[in-house]
């Protein structure tokens, strides 16, 4: 009886001690860490952001004069702070060639049967640079998804034909139509071309000559806006385009409902037919573009570590420094989309961390890789380009810390009703001491633990992990630059304060930034970076 009681007491003591140890932060924030992070100040962040998000930077579109000036501003400061250039040819800049395609209105024609149609008024080029005269075949939404039993070409042959597709939602250059109802990203995880194929890829591999996408009522209702956007022409990084075999001269055009009426006139099936069928009339299509090369750049720098062995590894930290430029058709007097929060806030946070690091007396053991990415707003161009054509040994990067939109806080007085379909509102913002943390635990348990513990041991911000939910409809994990590092097998973590009513609007101005919050978030990210840089072993990818 006594022995059993003694054993129970020992066991209780052990459990209590183990629980206490488990609850203690695994990361210790030293006085040196605090001093280093305190070099990041709200005043410093404000100074830099007032430059980066000024009207003179013209919205930092990719490519643009304003974006180039911002890159020069970042590079100038990196040089002053003593950073090692890590771009091309001993510079801070990784140059990226962009292929620009501008449609020639006079060289773009469309005739359906005996009716001719005008460029931009009736049809808009998505891709291609050739002439096609071929019979038409209607193929519903154009998709093939084997696991769902979906095959738009069942019962018809599209070889040497022009495929006509129709689907709800907004068409795009890559897919032409949105995936069918019930098709999830998991259904598109197999081999493209065998297990599934989007409309453009399926048409090409099936021998079609061209594709016509008929506008849905929603798109027809917004034709003026679509026309304004699409008339700017196409733009894409040349090297990334070369790596995608589908980026060729296969003609794809979006046509108005008037053209759709001409296509389906006299056809028994119509555009809502549940089966594909041959259309009893041809279409003569000519698409023509002028091409030129434009240039932009990522900004890349290294702060070398102190350990003779570990300095060969790097902790990467980055943000995108581009935004969406100027829209002359924007309502009101303000036509410049300054992007103070998106992502001027991340841009200057990374600058502030770089400056604070340069002021420290001791260097971290590992090197720190700083990358300001261009073209994020165009489709994560800069981060994809850097991961596919890196200027450093990308496999030596142990983690990537991404900062995208950390400048806003929830103001209960400015919450607008969330009744605008498809548009964000201020209710989605995080609170003044709260920040959304995305992906930290998704690939590496160690990265997740260091991220949590560094915050717990330091400023104790409220970390909100709601966007890590696999069912999150916003899918923010896939929507910023960290994603391409994750694709490359590098554990990532993304700090984000939430979207708001000024997201991609002219109202994203500096005066709406909560600089006190930005200071706390940026300092917390900096100590997280320092703790990762001093780990004995790189975080394992164990998930």
Rounded CA separation 422/442 (Å): 27
pLDDT at 471: 86
pLDDT at 212: 96
Predicted structure pTM score:
0.81
Reported as a single tens digit per residue, the pLDDT across 124-172 is 998 888 999 999 999 999 999 999 999 999 999 999 999 999 987 666 6
Rounded CA separation 120/123 (Å): 5
For 333-346, give the DSSP string.
S--B---IIIIIIH
Biggest CA-to-CA distance, the chain: 103
Say which residue, 413 or 493, is predicted with more confidence.
493
pLDDT at 417: 63
Helix or strand or coil: residue 225?
Answer: helix
Q: Kindly report the number of other CB atoms within 10 A of residue 205's CB atom.
A: 14
CB 52 within 8 A of CB 70: yes
pLDDT at 188: 86
Q: Which residues contact 326 (CB under 8 A, 6 or more apart)?
A: 58, 59, 61, 335, 336, 337
Say which residue, 23 or 356, is predicted with more confidence.
356
Say which residue, 241 or 257, is predicted with more confidence.
257
| Among 247, 276, 287, residue whose Cα is nearest residue 165 | 276
- Mean pLDDT estimate for the chain: 90
Residue 91 clears pLDDT 80, i.e. is over it: yes
pLDDT at 326: 96
Reported as a single tens digit per residue, the pLDDT across 185-222 is 788 888 999 999 999 999 999 999 999 999 989 889 88
DSSP run (H or E) holding 209? none
The structure tokens listed for 470 are 């696999």
Reported as a single tens digit per residue, the pLDDT across 275-331 is 999 998 999 999 988 889 999 999 999 999 999 999 999 999 999 999 999 999 889
Residue 264 clears pLDDT 90, i.e. is over it: yes
pLDDT at 149: 95
Distance between alpha carbon 296 and the CA centroid of its chain, in Å? 17
| Among 320, 317, 355, 319, residue whose Cα is nearest residue 529 | 317
Query: pLDDT-derived band of residue 16, with 50, 70 and 90 as boundaries?
Result: very low
pLDDT at 18: 37
Helix or strand or coil: residue 5?
Answer: helix
What ranges in 301-431 are assigned the alpha helix state H? 346-359, 381-388
> Which phi and psi (to 5°) does residue 97 adopt?
-80, 130
Which residues face 213 on adjacent strands? 165, 254
Q: Kindly report the number of other CB atoms within 10 A of residue 10's CB atom.
A: 10
pLDDT at 176: 77
Q: Supply the angle between the helices 346-359 and 515-533 in degrees, to the nearest 10.
A: 50
| Among 259, 280, 213, 216, residue whose Cα is nearest residue 111 | 259
Residue 19 clears pLDDT 60, i.e. is over it: no
> Which phi and psi (to 5°) does residue 414 adopt?
-115, 20
What ranges in 462-505 are assigned the alpha helix state H? 482-487
Say which residue, 86 or 17, is predicted with more confidence.
86
Rounded CA separation 442/317 (Å): 18
For residues 353-367, give the mean pLDDT.
97
Helix or strand or coil: residue 540?
Answer: coil
pLDDT at 28: 94
For residues 517-540, give the mean pLDDT.
98
């Amino acid at each position: 009886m006594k022995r059993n009681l003694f054993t129970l007491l020992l066991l209780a003591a052990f459990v209590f001690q183990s629980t206490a140890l488990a609850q203690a932060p695994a990361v210790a924030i030293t006085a040196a860490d605090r001093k280093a992070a305190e070099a990041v100040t709200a005043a410093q962040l404000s100074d830099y952001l007032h430059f980066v998000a000024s009207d003179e930077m013209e919205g930092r579109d990719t490519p643009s004069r304003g974006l180039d000036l911002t890159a020069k501003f970042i590079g100038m400061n990196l040089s002053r702070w003593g950073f090692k250039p890590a771009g091309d040819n001993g510079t801070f800049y990784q140059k990226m060639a962009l292929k620009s395609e501008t449609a020639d209105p006079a060289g773009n024609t469309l005739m359906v049967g005996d009716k001719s149609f005008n460029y931009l008024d009736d049809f808009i080029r998505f891709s291609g640079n050739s002439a096609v005269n071929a019979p038409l075949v209607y193929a519903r939404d154009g998709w093939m998804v084997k696991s769902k039993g979906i095959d738009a070409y069942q019962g018809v042959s599209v070889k040497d034909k022009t495929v006509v597709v129709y689907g709800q939602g907004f068409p795009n250059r890559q897919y032409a139509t949105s995936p069918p109802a019930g098709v999830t990203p998991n259904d598109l995880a197999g081999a493209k071309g065998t297990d599934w194929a989007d409309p453009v890829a399926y048409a090409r591999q099936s021998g079609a000559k061209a594709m016509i996408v008929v506008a849905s009522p929603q798109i027809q209702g917004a034709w003026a806006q679509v026309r304004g956007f699409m008339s700017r022409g196409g733009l894409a990084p040349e090297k990334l385009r070369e790596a995608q075999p589908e980026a060729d001269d296969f003609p794809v055009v979006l046509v108005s409902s008037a053209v759709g009426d001409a296509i389906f006139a006299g056809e028994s099936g119509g555009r809502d037919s549940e089966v594909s069928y041959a259309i009893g009339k041809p279409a003569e299509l000519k698409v023509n573009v002028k091409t030129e090369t434009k240039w932009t750049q990522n900004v890349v720098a290294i702060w070398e570590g102190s350990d003779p062995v570990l300095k060969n590894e790097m902790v990467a930290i980055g943000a995108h420094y581009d935004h969406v430029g100027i829209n002359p058709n924007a309502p009101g007097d303000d036509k410049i989309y300054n992007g103070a929060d998106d992502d001027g806030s991340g841009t200057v946070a990374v600058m502030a961390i770089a400056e604070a690091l340069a002021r420290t007396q001791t260097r971290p053991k590992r090197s720190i890789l700083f990358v300001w990415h261009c073209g994020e707003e165009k489709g994560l161009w800069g981060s994809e380009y850097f991961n596919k054509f890196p200027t450093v040994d990308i496999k030596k990067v142990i983690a990537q810390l991404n900062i995208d939109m950390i400048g806003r806080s929830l103001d209960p007085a400015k919450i607008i009703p969330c009744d605008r379909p498809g548009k964000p509102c201020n209710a989605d913002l995080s609170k003044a001491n709260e920040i959304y943390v995305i992906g930290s635990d998704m690939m590496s348990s160690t990265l997740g633990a260091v991220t949590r513990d560094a915050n717990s041991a330091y400023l104790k911000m409220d970390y909100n992990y709601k966007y890590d939910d696999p069912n999150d409809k916003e899918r923010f994990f896939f929507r910023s630059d960290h994603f391409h590092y994750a694709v490359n097998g590098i554990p990532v973590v993304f700090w984000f304060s939430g979207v708001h009513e000024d997201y991609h609007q002219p109202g994203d101005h500096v005066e709406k930034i909560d600089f006190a919050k930005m200071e706390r978030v940026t300092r917390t990210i900096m100590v997280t970076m320092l703790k990762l840089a001093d780990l004995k072993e790189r975080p394992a990818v164990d998930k």
